[in-house]
Amino acid sequence: MGWKVLFTDHVFPSIEPVQDELDRIGAELVVAAGDREAVARAAADADAVLNTYFPLDAELIERMGRCRIIARLGIGVDNVDVATAERRGIWVTNVPDYCIDEVADHTLALVLALLRKLTVLDALTRAGRWTFEPARPIPRLANLVLGLVGFGQIGRRVCQKSKAFGLHVLAYDPYVNPFAIREAGAAPADLDSLLASSDVVSIHVPLTAQTRHLLDRERIARMKPGAYLVNTSRGGIVDEAALREALDRGHLAGAALDVLEHEGAHWESPVRGHERVILTPHVAFYSEASVEELQRKAARQVVAVLSGAAPQHPVNRPAMAG
């Protein structure tokens, strides 16, 4: 049968790994080009949809007449209306295990850059000033507490790797047994205690209705004076206006964000240009190896569903599927 698979959007130098997997069932891969209406027209008769960042809301999903699976190339599914897909009998899948080391490494790179004042020192040296005085104080890492908000696969890997630097780790995750947190090398804590005790707070939770602006003005105010905030999860978890206020009044010493609430070509943020903020362009997931793994694992779930099997990583249970 001639399957049609739509790729709504991607940011990859090559999508050859996706094509390789779809070739196993002779599926035609169509890459969308254009605006929302162009995507909607292409999706109308697609048997499967591969999706990266393009927002798939209820109205778009309702127009998918033949779709059996929406396979998100990533961990989060906050840009897909999962409930509508489930009601329509469409599987929604993610790839929860493809960039664990990359995101953990990027998180710790941001932590180290903040604590060791690398951007400040780089700017001073580039300007011809052979001094570290403006970067002081610089703390000893082994005396500091790293607080992890979220203790899934990435949070655990950050915990594991941070031990090499002597950091003491606290972890908050209401969905993880405290015994499992201790077994992984962290001390369990409630959110308020973690915020008050941590020298660095690092975010590792998905973006949901419950976690949107989890770090709001009130919770940021509860953070330890002089602490740092790191976010490599989703931008919507942090209220960036409240973060800017905390930085401006000196309550927080700095922040490092790989994700922002508004991303893309015309991105903007209240913390843009702040001298004590490090920004990277949603790149924590990236390595050549992780991107190939991501594409193959997402495409294999499409192949499984179109072949009559259940996907490996479903995030819903559509009653009509299969």
Count of CB atoms situated within 10 Å of the CB of 23? 12
Q: Which residues of the chain have pLDDT under 50?
A: 322
Catalytic residue numbers, as ranges: 234, 263, 282
Question: For residues 106 and 100, what is the distance between their CA atoms, to the nearest angstrom?
Answer: 10
Residues making up the chain, counted from first to last = 322
User: What angle (nearest 5°) sits at the alpha carbon of residue 14, between those of residues 13 and 20?
Assistant: 165
Q: What is the pLDDT of residue 321?
A: 55
Cβ proximity of 212 and 184 under 8 Å: no
Cβ proximity of 93 and 72 under 8 Å: yes
Q: What is the pLDDT of residue 1?
A: 61
Q: Measuring CA to CA, which residue among 224, 38, 86 is closest to residue 147?
A: 224
For 140-170, the pLDDT digits (tens) are 999 899 999 999 999 999 999 999 999 999 9
Domains of the chain by start residue, with CATH: 4-98+288-306 (3.40.50.720), 100-279 (3.40.50.720)
Q: Measuring CA to CA, which residue among 240, 242, 265, 206 is closest to residue 256?
A: 240
Longest dimension (CA), the chain: 69
Q: Sheet containing 4-7: which strands, arranged edge to edge?
A: 28-31, 4-7, 48-51, 69-72, 91-93
Entry pTM = 0.92
Question: For residues 227 and 196, what is the distance between their CA atoms, to the nearest angstrom?
Answer: 9
Question: For residues 47 and 247, what is the distance between their CA atoms, to the nearest angstrom?
Answer: 49
